[in-house]
Amino acid sequence: MNTPESIKKTSSYHHGNLKESLLTTALEMVDKEGIDALTLRELTMRLGTSRSAVYRHFPSKEALILGVIEKGYERLDLLLTPIFQDKHSSVAERFDRMGREYLDFAIHHPTLYRLLFGDKYHREREELCDYKDENQATGLYALIGLLLEAQEQGIIAQANPMVQAAMVWASIHGLASLLIDGHLLMRENMEEIYVYSQSVLLNGLKRIPKDE
Amino acid sequence: MNTPESIKKTSSYHHGNLKESLLTTALEMVDKEGIDALTLRELTMRLGTSRSAVYRHFPSKEALILGVIEKGYERLDLLLTPIFQDKHSSVAERFDRMGREYLDFAIHHPTLYRLLFGDKYHREREELCDYKDENQATGLYALIGLLLEAQEQGIIAQANPMVQAAMVWASIHGLASLLIDGHLLMRENMEEIYVYSQSVLLNGLKRIPKDE
DNA sequence: ATTAAATGTGAACAATGTCAACATTGCCTT
DNA sequence: AAGGCAATGTTGACATTGTTCACATTTAAT
């Protein structure tokens, strides 16, 4: 039909776009009110449908949340990918911007971030494994490409880039987690910690330990 | 009375040691079966009491869990403190052993670890803030002392030890979290990642970035 | 137009944390 | 030793939540 999808059908029985609306609204609820605020009753009430309508589109609440997670990854990728792909910036610049953007995402979307990188719900795809080529630039895989580039330019030492990426990611993820989970009461020192952290990382990656 | 506390009272009505038993059994359930397996009904059933008996000792399930967390911190401290205080080992050795012990704890007690350093439940005390003196050697505060010692010996560069500790802790915490939450499919590479990670940290801490 | 698949509804159920009223025990004061 | 009170434990009930089932309504295909 020629009806734009943004316009609701006159039919009040069939929602018309329930699956997508469920995901979008659920993501919003998780992001703004926390994961505990996401109950099927509240979610469906906001969309004007009944609780069990969810089960026509998702086999369980968990499946719905997995959908939300997929959407969350897309949002994060949307922020990170342009930075990784900006060939006009130096490697060091991109490294810095990537870390800041990642931390900002976690700080501004703590519940969503925990959902993405927590343990309770998992999507199929895993991070930082089976890296094939640098065109596989999505999300954290792009970090491997960036590190390879850094190796070629002699900015950091040669080493298994997947191991390097795991180390770097773990550092930033750890910082993000401790921060948003309230274990580092140093919010005012955040800039100092971040800058110091990045410099330790880059300096540490620069030299391979020979002896000891 | 002369009755050893390990021997249950003949009275079947009053448990006699319910608060401690609740904490111990709850910790065991969390550790071995996951946080979701910890329901008040199951917990009290195992102890032979009724569900609501819990509320004579804890105002809520959350309060009980906070008690479990406190016990969890004690266990972790019990593992870490001896390492930090072993003045016979070199700083580098202690640094390595601390990291390994910390990671081992997370790997062998993933649910408990998430409880300790997650966001859902919080104890009052926070980590790595208000460090007073190196005698305050408990848990992660001891890391600050170790870093100060490393600074004195010239093993790492002079810098704010709290910032250094936050950076180091975040790195190891990030590695532990990603691992136990299934985001790093590199379990077989674990040793390699850990060793590399520690060398990057030590090398990075060694040099203060002057320019750039 | 008929039929079947897709989608939505309402009632009901089980699990769970919580609470209130009541029961039992232990301890303290006299 | 007796009485009384606080501590501790029990039972039944309730609200919330995810889930399921039988049924209703709409859409699409034949």
CATH of residue B176's domain is 1.10.357.10
Whole-angstrom CA distances from B125 to B117, B128, B139, B172 are 12, 10, 12, 20
Judge if B88 and B54 occupy the same domain: no
- Report yes or no on B64 lying in a domain: no
Q: What is the CATH number of the domain that holds B40?
A: 1.10.10.60
CA distance B181 to B184: 8
Q: Does B74 share its domain with B25?
A: no
Query: Does residue A132 fall inside a structural domain?
Result: yes
In a domain? residue A65: no
Q: Has residue A6 been placed in a domain? A: no
Residue A188 to residue A114: CA distance in whole angstroms: 22
Whole-number Å distance between alpha carbons of B130 and B42? 40
CB contact under 8 A, A207 and B209: no
Distance CA B143, CA B141 (A): 5
Question: Within an 8 Å CB–CB cutoff, is residue B195 touching chain A?
Answer: no
Q: What range does the domain containing B149 cover? A: 69-206
- Identify the DSSP state of A119: S
Same structural domain, A48 and A83: no
B50 shares a domain with B138: no
- Asked if A79 and A154 sit in the same domain, the reply is yes
Strand D contacted by B57 CB (< 7 A): yes
A165 domain residue, yes or no: yes
Final residue in a domain of this structure, among A58, A88, A111? A58
The model's confidence at residue B209, banded by pLDDT at 50, 70 and 90, is very low
Check residue A6 and give its pLDDT: 36
> Average model confidence (pLDDT) for chain A?
87
A10 in any annotated domain: no
Check B181 against A129: CB less than 8 A apart. Answer: no
Give the number of other CB atoms < 10 A from CB of residue A102.
22
The rounded distance, in Å, linking the Cα atoms of B125 and B3 is 36
What is the structure's pLDDT at A207?
A: 76
- Residues in chain B closer than 8 A to A163 (CB atoms): 186, 189, 192-193, 196
Q: Supply the DSSP symbol for A127.
A: B
> Residue closest to C9, CA→C1'?
A50
Domain co-membership, A88 together with A120? yes
Q: How far apart are CA A46 and CA A41, in angstroms?
A: 9
On whether any CB of chain A is under 8 Å from the CB of B78, the answer is no
- Statement to judge: residues A89 and A177 lie in one domain: yes
pLDDT digits (tens, 9 = 90+) for B14-36: 677 899 999 999 999 999 999 99
Question: Is residue A76 within 8 Å of A65, Cβ to Cβ?
Answer: no
Our measurement of CA A54 to C1' C5, in angstroms, reads: 18
Task: Please enumerate in sequence order all residues whose Cβ is within 8 A of that of B6, keeping only pairs 6 or more positions apart, or say none.
Answer: none
Query: Do A57 and A19 touch, CB atoms closer than 8 A?
Result: yes
- Round to whole Å and give the CA distance between B112 and B51: 23
Is B92 in CB contact (< 8 Å) with chain A?
yes
Gap between the Cα atoms of B63 and B56, Å rounded:
12
Total number of domains constituting chain A: 2
Residues B81 and B30 grouped into a single domain: no
What is the mean pLDDT of the segment spanning B170-190?
Answer: 90
How much is the CA Rg of chain A, to the nearest whole Å? 21
Same domain, B80 and B22: no
Q: Is B184 on the interface with A (CB under 8 A)?
A: yes
Listed residues B26, B58, B90: the one ending a domain:
B58
Q: Which 131-150 residues of chain A touch chain B by CB within 8 A?
A: none
Mean pLDDT over the full length of chain B: 87
3-state SS, residue A173: helix
SS3 state at B16 = coil
Please state, in angstroms and rounded to a whole number, the distance separating the CA atoms of residues A199 and B3. 61
Q: How far is CA A191 from CA A67, A99, A203, in A?
A: 34, 12, 18
Whether residue B99 sits in one domain with residue B47: no
Residues contacting A18, CB < 8 A, separation 6+: A47, A49, A53, A56, A57
Rounded distance in angstroms from the CA atom of residue B10 to the C1' atom of nucleotide C30:
29
Give residue A170's pLDDT. 97
Q: What is the pLDDT of residues A134-184, one digit of tens each?
A: 555 566 789 999 999 999 999 999 999 999 999 999 999 999 999 999 888
Q: Give CA–CA dist B205/B197, Å, rounded.
A: 12
CA B18/CA B32 separation, integer angstroms: 21
**pLDDT at residue B9 greater than cutoff 50:** no
Shortest CA distance to B205 belongs to which of A205, A184, A186, A103?
A: A205
B199 touches chain A (CB under 8 A): yes
Residue whose structure tokens are 């111990």:
B24
Nucleotides of chain C touched by protein CB (<7 A): 6-12, 15-21, 24-26
Which residue's CA shows the smallest distance to C1' of C19? B52
Among A158, A171, A192, the residue to mutate for chain B (most B Cβ within 10 A):
A171
Share of chain A above pLDDT 90, in %: 74
- Helix, strand or coil for residue A140? coil
A112 with A169, same domain: the answer is yes
DSSP B9: P
**CB–CB contact A117 B92 (8 Å):** no
- Running DSSP on this structure, what letter comes out for residue B13? S
With CA atoms as reference, report the closest residue to A91 among A146, A53, A23. Answer: A146
Which pLDDT does position B43 carry in this prediction?
98
Does A24 reside within a domain?
yes
Is the same domain home to A42 and A78?
no
The pLDDT value given to residue A63: 97
Distance from CA of B18 to the nearest CA of A (A): 30
Number of Cβ within 10 Å of residue B189's Cβ equals 16
CA distance A182 to chain B (A): 7
Nucleotide nearest to A41 (CA to C1'): D17
Burial of residue B88 (CB within 10 Å: 0-12, 13-18, 19+) is: exposed
A191 Cβ under 8 Å from any chain B Cβ: no
- pLDDT for residue A188: 78
- What is residue B184's three-state secondary structure? strand
With a cut of 50, list the residues of chain A below it in pLDDT.
1-10, 209-212
pLDDT tens for B114-167 read 999 999 887 766 665 555 555 555 667 899 999 999 999 999 999 999 999 999
User: Looking at the domain assignment, is residue B5 inside a domain?
Assistant: no
